[in-house]
Structure 1
Amino acid sequence: MLQTSDRYTVNRDTLTIRGVITSDQGQYWCRGLRDGRPKSSHLSSTVSFTVMERPKAVLKVSPDERVFRGETVTLTCDIQRAGDIQWTYSWFKDGSVIRDVTERLYSITSVSDRAEYSCRGERSDSQRSYISAAVTLTVSDLKPKPELTSDPAGAALTGNTVTLICHMNPATGWDFYWYRHTLNSETKTQTNSYRVKIDSVSDGGQYWCRAGRGKPVYYTQYSDALWVNVTVSPKAVVTVRPDERVFRGETVALRCDIKWGGDTEWTYRWETEGTNWYKNSADRCTKECSNSETDNQKNRNAVSWCLEQELNISSVEDFHSGKYSCRGQKNTQCSQRSDAVTLTVSAEAQAAVRVSPQPWLTEGDSVTLICEVTGSSTGWTFSWFRDDDRLSDSSRGAGGSYTLSPAALQHTGVYTCRAERGRPAYYTKNSSTQTLWITGVSPSVSLVVSPSRSQHFSSDSLSLSCEDQRNSAGWTVRRYTDRNTEDCSKQTGSTCRIVSLSTSDSGVYWCQSESGERRHPLNITVHNGDVILESSVDPVIEGHTLTLHCLHRSTNSSILRADFYKDGSLVQNQTTGEMSITTVSKSHEGFYYCKTERGQSLHSWISVRVSEGQISVSSILSFLLAACPYLLSTVVLLFKCYRARVPSAEDQSQYAVTEETST
């Protein structure tokens, strides 16, 4: 039973609790007492109440506690933990009640003075909230002016974006208005940044901003104009060393160059498409270019990562194959992406050797061996080998061409080449072999061919004999075909007879002694077609007559009409099937073939030789005429002697004809 105390007062049927606290909440009931009988009444029904902590008012200011003269300011009084209770509000300015204002919102339409504001809530039963903390409203007389900056600062590159930033202090509650080139049109944003897409140089120029807030809108001053300089974005260029086509195991370097403002200020972004090796890279880019979103939409399959200016692959493999491109990045600005280069990784490289003009030649001729890498031509140096030994002067052919001029007998042999490039050096496989055949100008042993021509019809017969001016015994006919080196079939002594020729009999034939000496190599070509070119197997002497015939298989005689070609160009149209050059010179040397309505012959190499006798006599004549005019009679005598010697010199001359298969 409650008794009267400092906090509780019982006055007959009324209980008063002063300074109610949380522990006072709960259920209460009562009963009546008297002196007579019965002494007490029944207990009343219970009543209960809840004790709530007095709420606190919170004052909010919009747009800000720092405002500018003329702005509209709205003060809001919120009662915390007020529940659904209806409140009326009291407003205080500098401690004094503002009369006739009882709403939750209090608007000052044109603020002019600095003041301190607070508020309080009151219920219908006269219970009140705590008074809010005071808010000081500061009013500035000066109309604000924002500052406009750009990111990045300085020149912008086409293809990128520039972010304009409009700085306001205070920064609360503003909308921002943007102007380009003129103040006649504006773009509104709710943030203080505005992205400008720089598509061309015309997107540069003057930009302004200003801010506004409230209703009606209070506008700041315009910012100072910001000049955005735009420069055409440079395009990156990818170069590949040693080549875009490389071979497994080579070292490859890809370099990204940007011809603008130097290379040191750029970082580099490499992008690949179709490769897998980037998956192990730890240098994926974290800072994107300002235009990366657009670029990524265009290159959905590209993967980029950040590396140095030069991308090095120490031992390239198949999975490195693919498209590579790059671009430079300065802060958030990027150069134009380079054109993609396609890196193709192939299996081990193979060198190949060929000879020009022919592999069989006479001492004193010139011949060039050419080494190439199949499918690649960039950055190679070459080494040369004869009979598996590296040539001491191999460096002469480092560029891919090894020339023997003049060729000598000791140059006969089997040649191969090999290519290398890069650091560390990458070596190709050795080429297939190429045999060079060199014979003397006037060999003591001659290979006599019957019929005496270099081209022959298949199914015809052929006889080859070794004739030695001293002794023909001990010499045999051998040949080198596309199969191997072998003795001539059906050989009797120094003579080889082939009854029915086939294309497999095409090759180089020569005379070989028991000791292994090789003499007088000649090229024999067997043709399945209906037309061949008839020419001697030996070289023609300069100044003599060269006669060529176009023969048909059915008649084995000249065709009435034929066109003759040299090195692919038409030389003569003849109705007799025969072509003659009465005075041959070195310029007539080359590959010849004939063409008729019935078909086309294979190609034959016509070699032109300068007579040693003519050279020596001419030199003697020139010397004598210049040295002593009085020796004219001696000159005449020598000339007569020379004329008497010419037939024997002709008999010892050679006339070589070689073939290459027409394509």
Structure 2
Amino acid sequence: MSIKTQEALVLNKHRCGSMRYSALSFILLLMLLCSHSGLTQVEPKAVVKVSPDQRVFRGETVTLTCDIQGAGDIQWTYSWLKDGSVIPDITERVYTITSLSDNSKYSCEAKSISDAVTLTLSDLPRSTLTLTPNSPVFTGETVNLKCVIESYSDWRWRNGLTNDWRYEWYKGRYSVMLQTSERYTVNRDTLTIRGATESDQGQYWCRGQRDGRPNSSQSSSAVSLTVKASPKAVLKVTPDQRVFRGETVTLTCDIQGAGDIQWTYSWFKDGSVIRDITERVYTITSVSDSAEYSCRGERSDSQRSDTSDAVTLTVSDSYRAALIVTPDSPVFTGERVILKCVIESYSNWRYEWYKDTDSVMLQTSERYTVNRDTLTISGATESDAGQFWCRGQRDERPNSSQSSSAVYLSVKDLKPKPELTSDPAGAALTGNTVTLTCHMNLSPGWDFYWYKYTLNSETKTQTNSYRVKIDSVSDGGQYWCRAGRGKPVYYTQYSDALWVNVTVSPKAVVTVRPDERVFRGETVTLRCDIKWGGDTEWTYRWETQGRNNQYTNSVRRISTQELNIISVEDFHSGKYTCTGQMGTQSSQRSDAVTLTVSAEAQAAVRVSPQPWLTEGDSVTLICEVTGSSTGWTFSWFRDDDHLSDSSRGAGGSYTLSPAALQHTGVYTCRAERGRPAYYTKNSNTQPLWITGVSPSVSLVVSPSRSQHFSTDSLSLSCEDQRNSAGWTVRRYTNRNTEDCSTQTGSRCRIISLSTSDSGVYWCQSESGEKRHPLNITVYDGDVILESSVDPVIEGHTLTLHCLHRSTNSPILRADFYKDGSLVQHQTTGEMNITTVSKSHEGFYYCKTERGQSLHSWISVRVSRSGQISVFKILSSLLAACMFLLATVVLLFKCCRARVPSAEDQSQYSVREETST
């Protein structure tokens, strides 16, 4: 249905209703006229009540109630009128308007028509958002957004509108309220952004909410916040940062990146504000002193730009002219003198020249030649002496210079004569240099000319010294010098001749104490000697090519004749040289001496001819220091006791001749040298085994052989011809001396032998006497060589057997070797030498298809002549001639002196030593 059709229907209904009401009114009037009661009734009155109020905000709901006053309980139907027109289809007492859209007058009708009630429609209070400072703002600034909600002064509840608003803040298109956070601070009607950044840019809007009516405001219009980088002030200077005193300077402050913002300006001089200057351009009409200037801009909301970089305004006087005179004063008659006027910077100067106090400019003449900035005096005379000065003039700024300081020109008539000296003043040594010096009490600017032997050839230098390299004696001789300057050259007189004497340089020699090869911890002294006939004292310079740079540098600082190293270390190793220094002269460098530092020194002992001896033999123990042989003295020890008979140990050798039984023991040695003394480590142990010719105490071994199988048993006992008590069996194994492992009295029994039981066994008394040492070898192989443990006498038979572990009996087939060479091949497993001689001494072993024995040393003992019976001689002499008693006594004493005792009689014997 169209809108016009709807309007026509409403109009028809209204007309019909109006006709109906007119007829009803006419009937009621007739009833009143015809009534005979004569009573007058008051007509009920319709009254419209409005809730909540006649003044309504757009969008609010309004309730209209039609009350019929004075009608009692009569049931009514109601009609509602808007602006005098019936509102169709509304017949209830209460009429609710859910959303009032405009201002209108409403009334209701039942018996009568109510007075009209005017509903006035108002918009919700407007919210206005203000921004401080104005956009754009700059990064880092604090921004305040304030939400203002209008109030209505003609409302009776206007006081309520200004209070109790709850403010809501929004940014951009999002409907999420902004809350207090790291970015924002919300305080009722104010939103604060502290330290704005570019991320804070955007559209902001606000609105209010409250509990009373109106319960909300309109949303504010969106305000755009633009955040820019903080603008930078830039200071420009015209005409230049360097100005002359009295000039006008214009300073301009430009705010870059600020757009069309209006600024006021602050100016600073040396960091302090210049008062009353707020314009962009600051003009200094007459600059007087140098200073630093800077500026910044300020907006009306007190926001500031960054301060400009400081610009230093340098105020100077006009450039001062400088006068340069060549050559330096004094000059000599006839010399050519050039005066040059120099003005720093700028060009197009016109130069003016003046002399003394005369204000008349000097011009080109017979005396002077003026060429722009140069005044030339050709052939100076004494009349040219005086004060000269200059200045400049030009058409542009600066238009004049300051006058130069006056320069006094002194002119002398006498030609100077230099003096020639040498360093050193005495004889020069080959390999060094001699410095010649041409002395003149003159100003700088002279060149010097040097002559040798004759004045025909010269060497030119710019300094008054000349170094002569003395390679040989021929570099000595006569030398002269003179000086000259200018163009053409003006020469002084020649110096007197100087004779330079040359001597061949001596060569330094380095000696080392105690030796060039030393050991860690020793004290080393290196000495530098120079053979020189003169009485001059030398100083010394040491150099080394060691591995420690810090030490190398410290050596170079030593100037004494001796270089001492206390407690030498590895890094002291290297080549050392020295040089003597006598003033500026040096000796020839010494040949390099190589210092070698080794680990701690170790003594070593060896024996000659062998460690197994018979009483009366001679033996020498030799003590040596590995890798060194210089400067050592030696100490000897037997069984760890120091031997005081040092005469035996002279030169590192300790000789026993003849060897006695008490010399048996384990020997070590130690070497020392230097002050303080440096000691080597103790040497290895070296035992000496000395047996008597007819020992009173014997070590009896069972089974009686020198080699034994491991796991076999062994019995050893000490047997004394007089008394076995007090003797024990001791042994030396693996360099240790100890009692036999299982001992009862003078007897020792080892139930199960092992290789660790190999060693030398002997009998030892309670007082420490050692008797009858024997070598016992335990072998864990399958074959041993059987021989007697006791010596075999020269001329007797030597029998050797080759035994196998499984049978412990001779092997039928065996080869016997002496000193590595095959001696016999036997099928009986036994080798016999019927008559033993000294030539049979050596190392023996046997070899079978089942294995090979260890080596045993076989030594041969030579028998001495038999003892002559003293008693038989005496009996014969007494029987023959009693009266020759005195002669017999003398013969008796003589025989006793030359014939050894029976105990001294020796026999050939066999000693066995084993080696693998």
Per the normalisation by structure 2, the TM-score is: 0.47
| Structure 2 counterpart of 1:193, from 465, 471, 485 | 465
**Separation in 2, partners of 1:452, 1:381:** 44
Q: Give the equivalent residue in structure 2 for 1:339.
A: 592
The answer (yes or no) to whether the contact 1:238–1:326 under 8 Å persists in 2 is: no
* CA displacement at 1:259 relative to structure 2: 3.7
Say which SS state the counterpart of residue 308 (structure 1) adopts: coil
Residue 496 and residue 208 in structure 1: after superposition, are their counterparts in 2 closer, same or farther (change >3 A)? farther
Most deviating of 527-536 and 169-178 = 527-536
Identical counterparts, % of pairs: 52
| Structure 2 counterpart of 1:269, from 515, 523, 541 | 541
Q: Give the equivalent residue in structure 2 for 1:135.
A: 409
**Separation in 1, partners of 2:812, 2:482:** 103
The answer (yes or no) to whether the contact 2:381–2:411 under 8 Å persists in 1 is: no
Residue 506 and residue 80 in structure 1: after superposition, are their counterparts in 2 closer, same or farther (change >3 A)? same
* CA displacement at 1:613 relative to structure 2: 1.3
Report whether the alignment pairs 1:234 with 2:513.
no
**Separation in 2, partners of 1:109, 1:64:** 15
* CA displacement at 1:239 relative to structure 2: 1.1
* CA displacement at 1:191 relative to structure 2: 1.6
Report whether the alignment pairs 1:305 with 2:557.
yes
**Counterpart AA for 1:342:** L
Residue 240 and residue 171 in structure 1: after superposition, are their counterparts in 2 closer, same or farther (change >3 A)? farther
* CA displacement at 1:133 relative to structure 2: 6.5
| Structure 2 counterpart of 1:154, from 427, 443, 447 | 427
**Separation in 2, partners of 1:354, 1:424:** 28
**Separation in 1, partners of 2:438, 2:786:** 93
> What are the within-5 Å matches in structure 2 for residues 529-548 of structure 1?
544=795
Say which SS state the counterpart of residue 364 (structure 1) adopts: coil
Q: Give the equivalent residue in structure 2 for 1:569.
A: none
**Separation in 1, partners of 2:721, 2:422:** 104
Report whether the alignment pairs 1:175 with 2:447.
yes
The answer (yes or no) to whether the contact 2:328–2:443 under 8 Å persists in 1 is: no
**Counterpart AA for 2:815:** S
Q: Give the equivalent residue in structure 1 for 2:518.
A: 245
**Separation in 1, partners of 2:797, 2:465:** 90
* CA displacement at 1:539 relative to structure 2: 5.2
Any idea what the Cα deviations from partners look like across 1:87-134, whole Å, max 9, x if unmatched? 343669xxx999453516454555687863554658899x99799576
Q: Give the equivalent residue in structure 1 for 2:350.
A: 86
> What are the within-5 Å matches in structure 2 for residues 52-451 of structure 1?
60-62=325-327, 64-67=329-332, 72-76=335-339, 78=341, 86-89=350-353, 99-100=365-366, 101=368, 103=370, 105-109=374-378, 116-117=385-386, 119=388, 135-140=409-414, 144=417, 147=420, 149-151=422-424, 153-158=426-431, 160-168=432-440, 170=442, 172-177=444-449, 188-196=460-468, 211-218=483-490, 224=497, 227=500, 229=502, 231-232=504-505, 234-241=507-514, 244-248=517-521, 250-261=522-533, 265-271=537-543, 304-314=556-566, 324-335=576-587, 336=589, 339-342=592-595, 344=597, 346=599, 351-373=603-625, 376-428=628-680, 434-447=686-699
The answer (yes or no) to whether the contact 2:517–2:628 under 8 Å persists in 1 is: no
Q: Give the equivalent residue in structure 2 for 1:558.
A: 815
* CA displacement at 1:256 relative to structure 2: 2.6
Stretches of structure 2 that go unaligned for 5 or more consecutive residues are 1-245, 248-284, 289-316, 395-400, 805-810, 870-901
**Separation in 2, partners of 1:325, 1:89:** 67
Residue 427 and residue 189 in structure 1: after superposition, are their counterparts in 2 closer, same or farther (change >3 A)? same
Q: Give the equivalent residue in structure 1 for 2:202.
A: none
Residue 228 and residue 215 in structure 1: after superposition, are their counterparts in 2 closer, same or farther (change >3 A)? farther
Say which SS state the counterpart of residue 651 (structure 2) adopts: coil
**Counterpart AA for 1:265:** E
Residue 520 and residue 147 in structure 1: after superposition, are their counterparts in 2 closer, same or farther (change >3 A)? same
Say which SS state the counterpart of residue 403 (structure 1) adopts: strand
* CA displacement at 1:482 relative to structure 2: 1.0
**Counterpart AA for 2:385:** E
**Separation in 1, partners of 2:915, 2:491:** 91
The answer (yes or no) to whether the contact 1:252–1:316 under 8 Å persists in 2 is: yes
The answer (yes or no) to whether the contact 1:234–1:260 under 8 Å persists in 2 is: no
The answer (yes or no) to whether the contact 2:818–2:842 under 8 Å persists in 1 is: no
* CA displacement at 1:441 relative to structure 2: 0.9
Q: Give the equivalent residue in structure 2 for 1:653.
A: 907
**Separation in 2, partners of 1:550, 1:372:** 40
Residue 65 and residue 582 in structure 1: after superposition, are their counterparts in 2 closer, same or farther (change >3 A)? farther
The answer (yes or no) to whether the contact 1:445–1:511 under 8 Å persists in 2 is: yes
The answer (yes or no) to whether the contact 1:66–1:170 under 8 Å persists in 2 is: no
Most deviating of 175-184 and 305-314 = 175-184
**Separation in 2, partners of 1:579, 1:213:** 114
Any idea what the Cα deviations from partners look like across 1:471-502, whole Å, max 9, x if unmatched? 89767765321164342779999686887x76
**Separation in 2, partners of 1:205, 1:457:** 93
The answer (yes or no) to whether the contact 1:59–1:118 under 8 Å persists in 2 is: no
Higher relative contact order, chain-length normalized (CA < 8 Å, sep 6+): 1
**Separation in 2, partners of 1:245, 1:366:** 34
| Structure 2 counterpart of 1:487, from 740, 745, 748 | 740
**Separation in 2, partners of 1:228, 1:597:** 89
* CA displacement at 1:360 relative to structure 2: 3.6
**Separation in 2, partners of 1:445, 1:414:** 21
**Separation in 1, partners of 2:570, 2:606:** 30
The answer (yes or no) to whether the contact 2:784–2:803 under 8 Å persists in 1 is: yes
Residue 538 and residue 207 in structure 1: after superposition, are their counterparts in 2 closer, same or farther (change >3 A)? farther
Stretches of structure 1 that go unaligned for 5 or more consecutive residues are 1-24, 27-46, 280-298, 566-571, 618-647
**Separation in 2, partners of 1:519, 1:468:** 11
**Counterpart AA for 1:234:** K
Residue 226 and residue 263 in structure 1: after superposition, are their counterparts in 2 closer, same or farther (change >3 A)? closer
**Separation in 1, partners of 2:668, 2:351:** 107
Say which SS state the counterpart of residue 407 (structure 1) adopts: coil
The answer (yes or no) to whether the contact 1:353–1:433 under 8 Å persists in 2 is: yes
* CA displacement at 1:333 relative to structure 2: 3.2
**Counterpart AA for 2:446:** W
Any idea what the Cα deviations from partners look like across 1:198-244, whole Å, max 9, x if unmatched? 56777667766554422233456776475462635514414133664
Residue 579 and residue 333 in structure 1: after superposition, are their counterparts in 2 closer, same or farther (change >3 A)? farther
Residue 129 and residue 183 in structure 1: after superposition, are their counterparts in 2 closer, same or farther (change >3 A)? closer
RMSD value, Cα: 5.9
**Separation in 2, partners of 1:531, 1:327:** 70
Any idea what the Cα deviations from partners look like across 1:334-378, whole Å, max 9, x if unmatched? 34155254353745x555544443444221122233344556543
Residue 187 and residue 523 in structure 1: after superposition, are their counterparts in 2 closer, same or farther (change >3 A)? farther
Residue 523 and residue 246 in structure 1: after superposition, are their counterparts in 2 closer, same or farther (change >3 A)? same
**Counterpart AA for 1:62:** P
The answer (yes or no) to whether the contact 1:356–1:368 under 8 Å persists in 2 is: yes
The answer (yes or no) to whether the contact 2:389–2:407 under 8 Å persists in 1 is: no
* CA displacement at 1:515 relative to structure 2: 8.5
The answer (yes or no) to whether the contact 1:550–1:558 under 8 Å persists in 2 is: no
Any idea what the Cα deviations from partners look like across 1:450-482, whole Å, max 9, x if unmatched? 88775x486696967658584897677653211
Q: Give the equivalent residue in structure 1 for 2:865.
A: 613
Q: Give the equivalent residue in structure 1 for 2:254.
A: none
